[in-house]
Amino acid sequence: MAKYLIRARISVDGVVEKHDIIGALFGQTEGLLGSEFDLRTLQDKGRLGRIVVNTKVQGNKTIGEILIPSNLDRIETALLAAMIETVEKVGPYDAEVKVTDIQDLRIEKIKKIVERTVEILKVWGKEKTPDLKEVVRNIQEQLKAPEPMPYGPEGLPAGPDIDKSDAIIVVEGRADVINLLKYGYTNVIALGGARRVPDTIKNLASKKKIVLLIDGDHGGDLILKEVLRTLKVDYVARAPPNKEVEDLTGKEVEEVLSKSQAVFEYLEEKVRNGDREAELLLQVQRKLHKLPEELVETETITIPNAVVEAIKGIQGTLESIQYLSDWSEVKRLPVKDLVTDLESAEPEKVKVYAVVMDGIITQRLIDTASSKNIKLLIGARVGKVQYKPQNVTIITFNELLNY
C-alpha cells in the first residue's frame, strides 16, 4: 500500500489520449531533479505506483485528473507534486497541471478503523459495558501488517501486489517479507530458503524489474552470488553491515532501497576492486539481460569546431541540438522535450546522427538513441545507467572540451 496519493488536475488545449499525458509527465520531468528522481527510476524501485490518468473531452479541450501513488517520504512527495506542475505541453498543445490534493492514505485507513471502532462500541453498548482491553486488542489486530500470502506453485511468501507492480523486491525469507509489509512494501516476495532460485521468481524477472534486497552479513554475500548466477537482477540493495532485513526499521528500509545500485554498476565496482568472481557474475548478468559480453569499439568520430563552439554556447541554457551526419543542424529544443521528440521521430525521413544537450544523459535517452540509430550523444553529464549499447557513443562536455 502506498503512503500518499497525489491528485492533480490537468487541462490541455487540444484533444489528446491518456498515454500522451503520461508520456509528457515522464518526458518533461526527466532530469529536472537528477536521474534518481526520474519517474521511471522511482517506479522501477517500487517507490512510485502506477500513474493513472482519467480524462474527458470538452469541446476542443481535454481535461482530467492524474493520480500518482507514492511511497516517498512527505517532503519528497511534495517535491514530486511540485515537479509535475512544470509540465507545459502535451504533444503540440499547451497544457496546465495543478496539484489539488496530497492524500495521506495511512490517515484514511486509521479513520476507517476509528469509525469501525465506534460501530463496535455501539453494538457492544446495547449488550454490556465493553471491556476496554478487548477494544484495544481489537484495534491492534486491525492495525497489524497483512500476513504474507503464498505465491506460485512453490507457495513463496509474498505481498498482495506482486502481479500489479512493475518492480518486485526479492528478499531471502518469510520474516523479511513480514517486516517489509509492516512498512507498506506490498510488492515483495521471498526466495523461500530454497538452494536455487525458484522458477516462479525467474518467471517474474522475465517481465518485471527485480530489486534484490539482501542482509548486510556474510550470509547475504552468499545469497547474492547464488542469485546473480541464475536470475536476471536489475538493482541490488543491501542492509547496513551486520544487519538483517527482518530487523530494519521503516526509515532504514527506505534508506537502503533509495541507495540501491543498478546491477551492472554494482558488479563493475567490484571488478575494479579486484573481485575476480564479480567478473564472472557480470558476464552471467549480461547474458541474462541479453547484452553483449564486451562492447565493441565504435567508429572514429570527428567533431567539427563549429559544433564544439555550439556546445560552449548552449552551456547553462538547458537546450539541445540535433545534427545530421554531415553536421548540419536539424533543430533545437528544450532538453525536457528531447526524448519525446526523438521517440516520435521517423528515422526514414530525418536521420539524426548526433545529439548535443545541456542536460543529463539518462538510460531512457540512450535506449531511444539506440533504437533510432543515433550514433553520438554529447551531454553535460551521464546519469546512472544500467548499460550502454554498442551502437551509441557517449561523451560529456568535460571530456570533449578538456581533450
- Please give the grid coordinates belonging to residue 197: 532460485
Low-confidence ranges of the chain (pLDDT < 50): 293-297
Residues in CB range of 219: below 8 A, 6 or more apart = none
Set of cell numbers at residue 277: 568472481
- What one-character-per-residue DSSP string does 130-171 give? --HHHHHHHHHHHHSPPPPEEETTTTEEE-TTTTT-SEEEEE
Can you tell me the distance from the alpha carbon of 166 to that of 127, in angstroms, rounded to the nearest whole number? 49
- CB count within 10 Å of CB 381 equals 13
Name the maximum alpha-carbon separation found in the chain.
90
Q: What pLDDT is stored for residue 295 in this prediction?
A: 43
Q: Is the C-alpha dihedral spanning 255, 258, 264, 265 positive or negative?
A: negative
* Residue pLDDT, tens place only, 185-196: 999 999 986 668
CA 43 to chain centroid, in Å, comes to 3
User: What residues does each domain of the chain span?
Assistant: 4-104, 106-143, 151-288, 305-401
Class of domain 151-288: alpha beta
Could you list the beta-strand ranges (E) of 61-208: 61-70, 89-90, 93-104, 149-151, 156-158, 167-171, 188-190
Helix (H) or strand (E) holding 312: helix 305-314
pLDDT value at residue 144: 63
- CATH code: domain 305-401 is 3.40.140.20
Q: Which residues pair with 258 in a beta bridge?
A: none
Q: % helix / strand / coil in the chain, to the nearest 5?
A: 40, 25, 35
H/E run at residue 368: helix 363-371
Check if 4-104 and 151-288 are the same fold.
no
Q: Report the C-alpha gap between 244 and 308 in whole angstroms.
A: 51
Question: 3-class DSSP state for residue 282?
Answer: helix
Distance, in Å, from the CA atom of 188 to the CA atom of 149, rounded to the nearest integer, reads: 11
DSSP 238: E
Under 8 Å between Cβ of 248 and 179? yes
What is the per-residue pLDDT for 336?
Answer: 92
Predicted confidence (pLDDT) per residue in 308-340, tens digit: 999 999 999 999 999 998 999 999 999 999 999
Q: What is the pLDDT of residue 297?
A: 42
In the block, which residue shows the cell 481535461? 63
Q: Which CATH architecture has domain 4-104?
A: 2-Layer Sandwich (3.30)
Find the distance separating the first CA and the last CA of the chain, reported in whole Å: 50
User: What is the model's pTM?
Assistant: 0.44
